[in-house]
Structure 1
Amino acid sequence: MKALFGRKLNNIKELRETTEEAKKDGVIGSDYTVIREVELSDSEFKKFASNFLEDQPWIKNSDGGSNEKGELRCIRVINKDTGEKILSNTEGYEFSRYTAIAD
């Protein structure tokens, strides 16, 4: 699986804009694997999506990074009310250092 990841994006609006620009420019996404899923209510998801750089209680500093195949290790964050999904690669932090829109 591949996704277009943005580094240190503030919120979902920035993520959507950056993703569209990358698609227009023909950028190829990065390989990733999902290490776990987190389901959030609509209000929790909106709060998370309004500030990706805020530490989250469900992110551990051992999440993220890459595996032996070079795939990015991600948490798939799911809005359980709408089904919207965001990938989070924390790179050892407790916030979403790299984010992507999940298909």
Structure 2
Amino acid sequence: VEPDGSVLVLDAVGQHLQRFTPDGQLLATFGDNLTFYRPRGLGIDPGGQIVVADTGGLRIVRLDPAGTLLSQLGGPESDLAKGQPSDAALSPGGDLYFVEAETGVV
């Protein structure tokens, strides 16, 4: 749930991140320009920045509240690829935490 009460939902099959109003009305869909591949986890900081564990893409992406890519960590040739990121969270101070599915490391 975002700071304004909107709800973010990952669609692992459709490869999208969707934003809904608290009563379920679709507001936006993100992901077409980001090419998610089996995203599995997400986190939101108090300022509305979003992190997505793109498990199949072997990376963590950070988005602004509008869904624009700010940065990414990992990729097929990275050390992160070996552990397959499966969930992500941001602390109130903006620190990134993620879980690797293969290793169980946080």
TM-score (norm: length of structure 1): 0.27
Q: Whose strand proportion is higher, 1 or 2? A: 2
Q: Whose helix proportion is higher, 1 or 2? A: 1
TM-score (norm: length of structure 2): 0.26
